[in-house]
Structures are given as C-alpha cells and as structure tokens.
Amino acid sequence: MTDAAAPSPSAQALCGIRVLDLSRVLAGPWATQALGDLGAEVIKIEKPGEGDDTRGWGPPWLADGEGNPTRESAYFLAANRNKRSVTIDMARPEGQALIHALARESDVLVENFKVGGLKRYGLDYDSLAALNPRLIYCSITGFGQDGPEAGRAGYDFMIQGMSGLMSVTGSPETEPQKVGVALVDILTGLNATIAILAALEQRHRSGRGQRIDIALFDVAVASLANQALNFLVGGTAPRRLGNAHPNIVPYQAFETADGHLILAVGNDAQFARFCRLADLAVLAQDARYATNRERVAHRDTLVPLIAEALKRQSTAEWLAMLDTAGIPAGPINTIAQAFAEPQALARGLAMNLPHPLGGTASGVRSPLRLADSPMDGATAPPWLGQHTDEVLATRLGLSPAEREALRASGII
C-alpha cells in the first residue's frame, strides 16, 4: 500500500494509490476515472459475462480495427479510462473472498449499491474496515446512509427534479427541463473525488481510513449555489428564466441577424462599454439601468431594448466587436463546433487511445493539469475482464491452475 515512499516530483500525483472500484453506471465510475487520471491504480470489479450496465448503453459503439462495431458503448468509454477490469461474481463466497483479499491491499474502495446492499456479501464498510483499518470506503447513493429516503434508489433525472434544479431550468413558457447531461451524477463523482482526496490526506496524519457518505440528492441541492441562497435569504422560490440570470442583467442569450450569442455583462463598467458599442449610450446614464441592482429590477424594459439592438448585425460581427471592447460574450456552439474551437484544438481536448479490441477509443482529455505531475500515458477503457488474470496473479498470487478453476466454476 501506499504511504511509505514519497513519489518523485515527476510521478503522477496519486502514484502508488490503489482503488478498488465496485461502482457502475456514472457517478462512481466518474470518481474513479478522475482518480485514475491522477495516477491511481483502479481495479474495476465487474460481474462475469455482464459487466457495468453502461457497456450495453448504445449505440454508438466503439469500432474495431476493421470498422466493425464492438459491444463497447460510447457511454461506457466516457467514464472508464485508466482502469483495469477484473470479473468476479461477488454473490459467490469464493468471489467475496477474492474481493476481501483485494480490499486488504487497497487504499480506497468506491461503491454505489443501495444502502445495506453489500452487507450480505461481507463487503460493507464494517466488514472491510476490520480487514483493513486504513481503507477509505466511499459509498455513493441516491439519498445517503440515513434519513427517511435512504433506502430508495436514486437516479440523476429524478434527483434533478426532486432537488429543485429542474424548477429553474428551462423557459417560463415551457415545462421544467433537465440538464442535457447527467450533471448530478457528474457533480456527485467530483464531490466523491474531493472527499476521497481529503480522507487520504487525513490518513497521512491519523493512520486510519474512514467511511465517506455521498448522496446525489445532497450534491444536487448543494450545487444550486446562488439559487439556493436566493431562496434561503429572499424567502421566495426562484422561477425559470430561460437563458437569463436571476442576479445579473444583461446575462443571457440574444438573437442576432443570423443566429444567437451569449452576452455576459458582469459589472457596470462593462455595461457602459456595451451601451456605447451598441449605440445605446443613453441607457448607461439612465438611473433605471446604471447599476446591476437597478438593471435586475427593470429587466423587463431593458432586455427588449438590447434584444432589438443585437438583431442589427451578425453573430460573428458582434463577437468580434465585443471581444475588442473587453465585454464577455460567446457563441452557442453545437458539440461538434465546440470540439472544433481553436482553443479546444490547442488544448487537445479530444483524444484517441489505442483500444485492445482494435481501433481507437475516442475520449475527452481530463481538465486537470498539474505542472509537476504528468497525466500523459492514459489507457483506453478496458474490455470486460481484460485484466482478471493479471490482477489475480500479480496482486493475489493465484496460479494459472487456480485461476482456471475459478473461471470454470463461473466465479471469474
């Protein structure tokens, strides 16, 4: 295990940390992928013959070297790079013994089973902490380990609704909308990663691991940020404003002569510059609009004036002028256009990794950039059971005959 020798300055940040990943779908795998990106060894435990549910969530599918579709979905590829896949049937005593042995040699375990779901397999926190007191055990659930809803399953879409997020997403004229990606799962994975890193740091001082309880519902409510405080401080539930901002004006999407753009005026000086640029200088002198406080109060009269002015020129013309004037603005890209942005190309956000089934696996580069901890050398998401023999041989010392017996009985 891992606190012994300090890694060299050029080593990956989490070099030497071993993560046992019992999670599937998105929130848990997103957390363990982040840990893998940072250099941790991530051993992903999957059910023999089936694996992570998301392996089958296609199309689209990964193509092999001859262009034929494999059984690896793009969804699975999104959250499982830098991992080693080991198939073990945890419902069998022999499989539980293998996971116990791996847990003894691990620093972190991540799971997203329903509350109490792993206790019957002897894979709950108390059982594994008795085997390895230094183990950091992160549980990700819909509603947490306690409270009246603790036993319920939680899914991103329903949590977006329950948390209030959908009540402030979408236009006033349409039904409430979910975010276009499973954002609660993603944010939950990131919060789990933060908690795990904090627990690792505390373990340096205490020598002990601990239990981490992360709930999708908690994360979603906490992530309401200013909207949550708008309610708690103001006493009125925020309403849907479409692409407008509840606390800043003008800060929304506007139509141009040939499309749309986002205008994000963040302070009064920017507003005055924008007014001069748009031949609306008189508005910056108007007491109703001179300060953000007054612009928020009078948005209903101000926004139509800005909207009419922005229709006079094309999106490209406006963006060039706004950039020159130092006024934050941007296009509304498709995902294809986002990857074609010069900045995306310069930062190498899209990447291709050689895949063991042939061909290449597309991916999105981690946004984490650590100057002294290289994050190159990423590996493609594994095929199901790709590393079973390797891990059981090198980590647990099982002989070929022992592994073959386990495989013959369906345990691996």
Q: Which residues are catalytic?
A: 185
Burial of 54 (0-12, 13-18, 19+ CB in 10 A): buried
234 burial type by CB count under 10 A (0-12 exposed, 13-18 middle, 19+ buried): exposed
Distance CA 98, CA 410 (A): 13
Give dist(CA 254, CA 256) in Å, integer: 7
CB 215 within 8 A of CB 143: yes
DSSP 98-131: HHHHHHHT-SEEEE-PPTTTTGGGT-SHHHHHHH
Query: d(Cα 328, Cα 318) in Å, to the nearest integer?
Result: 11
Cβ atoms of 318 and 329 within 8 Å: the answer is yes
State how far the Cα of 39 lies from the Cα of 376, in Å rounded to an integer.
10
Strand, helix or coil for residue 1: coil
Residue 82 contacts residue 38 (beta carbons within 8 Å): no
SS3 at position 351: strand
- Nearest-CA neighbor of 128 among 105, 144, 150? 105
Q: Which amino acid type is present at position 295?
A: R
The residue assigned the tokens 């109060």 is: 297
Cβ(84)–Cβ(382) below 8 Å: yes
**Strand partners of residue 213:** 139
d(CA 125, CA 115) in angstroms, rounded, equals 11
